[in-house]
Amino acid sequence: MPVLLSELVVFHYFSSMRTTLPFSSFDRLISFPLLFISFATLLATLFLGCRPNVPTYTAQKSEIYSTAAIAGPHPLATEVGEMILKKGGNAIDAAVAVQFAMAVCYPRAGNLGGGGFLVYRAADGDTRTLDYREKAPAAASRDMYLDDEGEVISDLSTLGHLAVGVPGTVAGIEAMFKEYGSLPWPELIEPAIQLARNGYRISQSEADRLNGFQEYFAQMNEQSPWMGDTFLVDQVIVQTELAATLVRIQENGSQGFYQGETARLITKEMEENGGLITAQDLKNYTATWRDPVTANYDNYRIISMPPSSSGGVALTQLLGMVEPYALDSLGFQSAATAQLMVEAERRAYADRAEYLGDSDFYPVPIGKLTDEAYLSERMADFSPDSAGTSADITAGAGLRKESFETTHISIIDSLGNAVSITTTLNGNFGSKVIVDGAGFFLNNEMDDFSAKPGVPNMFGLVGAEANAIAPGKRMLSSMTPTIVEKDGELFMVLGAPGGSTIITAVFQTFLNVAEFGMSLDEAVNAPRFHHQWLPDEIMVEPDALGEQVKATLAAKGYRFRDVGRMAVVKALQVLPDGRLHAVGDGRNPDDDVAGY
């Protein structure tokens, strides 16, 4: 249960080491006198009630590895990945294990009840993507979030049972495992089961998040390890129900989620609370393999996610629109560079709103949108002398203040196979609904549909017919898991959480390396800016664009909005000598890298 003050970390020397998972922790202690350890353990266990087998951790943001590497949102999850890679698992094995681990120790975004996207590049250069995005339930309908006057009912698509799309995560994890996995499935889930059963210590940032969302949890749920008075750093969280759910998946594969007891618990949760997801919806869910969207930029090839994400198409458009300009000589975040990038972003997001949606339901003109001639025509009216204007409407002005969370993992294994996965519940802890008896949060991904043409969702994004709600359809995403080749060889793996700002974060991080000569950690941590057509303003992080640059752009007609932080990139780069630079983003205190 949540509040176990007696379980605060006592072994401070444990917490000073980044690895303390039960199965590997004591490897790193061999330099300590054995006697002292036993004595301290006994004392702590007997008198202080602490749990020496419960992992603690500190995050590491940048490291260079010789063989294999992973960057992710949480040290316990990356630690699981490292362990799998070291025992001979490939990048997909590690991705499977890490995703299950994140479902335990990173509940704000790691998930069983959400969905995601994989971009995969095998060591031989073969590339594929897997779409395991949530789908609208069969009973969903185009106007389900509108009142009698045709207005959007606030919160219906973000909070509670009606906000939930049919989860895709477990089907996706199983599909990638069946195609590429090499270690036994049960072994890959076991670390997550141990974390759920034995518990883990929450970080300060997790405690802050949990405390901030208690009001919503209480509104939606009766009980959960995630509900309590005040969560404290290092408090131990044990998730017995989640452990049992994971065991069902361990024993039965995705059927342990989409059928049987877990499915029964999900449908019960829905039936009792006005949700739409049925047993048939769960049974029908399948993940879909798709060809990636690829872009050439100088001697780079960018491999990214096609619809149902807009990420790959928009990234390709952005790169295509700025490539003709000599960004390196215009300079990093100079007024000229910023203006050019903003104008490219304005155009790409305008196209996103009109043309992007689930390509299984709507004929997204991917070829046309990413065509070189089209992109150059699109920039034909660009003028360095003045700001462009987005449509004369204020629809995008309603950006919500909620903090968002999604998550990303980048992995390269010892053979050179690369995995880029972004996965999400959408908002922090999704719909805030925890499946009673099964112990996991359900997504609020339905908000990524366009509930009504021109009305912004919680990221301020607008959409139209292409992204209208329909039964079985996937809602449009901005997630942009990406892999980059340089001269035909694997060069970068990157992606991020951050809603609509994901696309521009990947865009900027790549350009920071490719055009502005930054090291990967400089590139990831450089302050960013973002324009998404509507609202017609440039969002800026602290320190992004200088005051002088902002004044120059303001004089041309641009408007700015200060934001605390935007997307949180996790990236890997293959260095010229073949070593791997892994970088987590300083924007998330728990971002972490691991490898060997």
Which residues of this protein are in contact with ligand DON, per CB under 6 A? 404-406, 424, 426, 445, 448, 477-479, 497-499, 502
DSSP one-letter string for 125-145: S-EEEEEE--B--TT--TTTT
Number of residues that make up the chain: 596
- 118 or 514: CB nearest ligand DON: 118
Helix (H, G, I), strand (E, B) or coil at 480: coil
Of 205, 194, 2, whose CA–CA distance to 79 is shortest? 194
The least CB distance from residue 101 to ligand DON, in Å, is 19
Minimum CB–partner distance for residue 371 and ligand DON (Å): 24
Q: Rounded distance, CA 302 to CA 493, Å?
A: 10
Chain center to CA of 279: 27
Identity at 317, one-letter amino acid code: Q
3-state secondary structure 8-28: CCCCHHHHCCCCCCCCCHHHH
Q: Which is nearer to ligand DON, 50 or 442 (CB)?
A: 442
CB of 565 to ligand DON, least distance (A): 10
Shorter beta-carbon distance to ligand DON: residue 445 or 485: 445
Shortest spacing between CB 438 and ligand DON, in angstroms: 22
Smallest gap from Cβ 123 to ligand DON, in A, equals 29
Q: Is the dihedral of CA 440, 54, 90, 594 positive or negative?
A: positive
CB of 346 to ligand DON, least distance (A): 19
CB of 199 to ligand DON, least distance (A): 26
Beta bridge pairs of residue 593: 71
In terms of DSSP bridges, do strands 538-540 and 560-562 run parallel, antiparallel, or are they unpaired?
parallel
Give the residue with the Cβ less far from ligand DON, 268 or 565: 565
529: closest CA among 557, 551, 507? 507
Q: Which long-range contacts (CB under 8 A, 24 or more apart) does 447-453 make?
A: 447/157, 447/158, 447/163, 447/475, 448/475, 448/476, 448/477, 449/136, 449/157, 449/473, 449/475, 449/476, 450/476, 451/145, 451/146, 451/152, 451/157, 452/143, 452/145, 452/146, 452/150, 452/151, 452/152
Question: From the CB of 252, what's the least distance to ligand DON, in Å?
Answer: 28
Cα gap 583→271, rounded to integer Å: 44
Tell me which of 56, 337, 370, 406 is the catalytic residue: 406
Q: 226 or 449, CB closer to ligand DON? A: 449
Q: Which residue, 396 or 498, has its beta carbon nearer to ligand DON?
A: 498
Degrees, nearest 5: CA angle 108-539-517: 90
Through-space distance between the first and last CA atoms of the chain, rounded to whole angstroms: 36
Angle, CA of 41, 45 and 47, to the nearest 5°: 115
CB of 200 to ligand DON, least distance (A): 22
Known active-site residue 406: yes
What whole-number distance in Å separates Cα of residue 20 and Cα of residue 526? 31
Q: Which is nearer to ligand DON, 173 or 580 (CB)?
A: 173
User: In whole angstroms, how close is the CB of 109 to ligand DON at the nearest point?
Assistant: 7
**446 touches 475 (CB < 8 A):** yes
Instruction: Calculate Rg over the CA atoms of the chain.
Output: 23
Q: Which is nearer to ligand DON, 189 or 505 (CB)?
A: 505
How far is residue 28's CA from residue 20's CA, in Å, rounded to a whole number? 8
Quick check: 104 and 112 in contact, CB under 8 A?
Answer: no
Decide whether 111 or 278 has the Cβ nearer to ligand DON: 111
- For ligand DON, give the closer residue by CB, 335 or 461: 461
Token readout for 274 is 């006005």
Rounded to whole angstroms, what are the CA distances from 354 to 309, 372, 389, 396? 14, 19, 17, 14
Q: Indicate which residues carry an active-site annotation.
A: 406
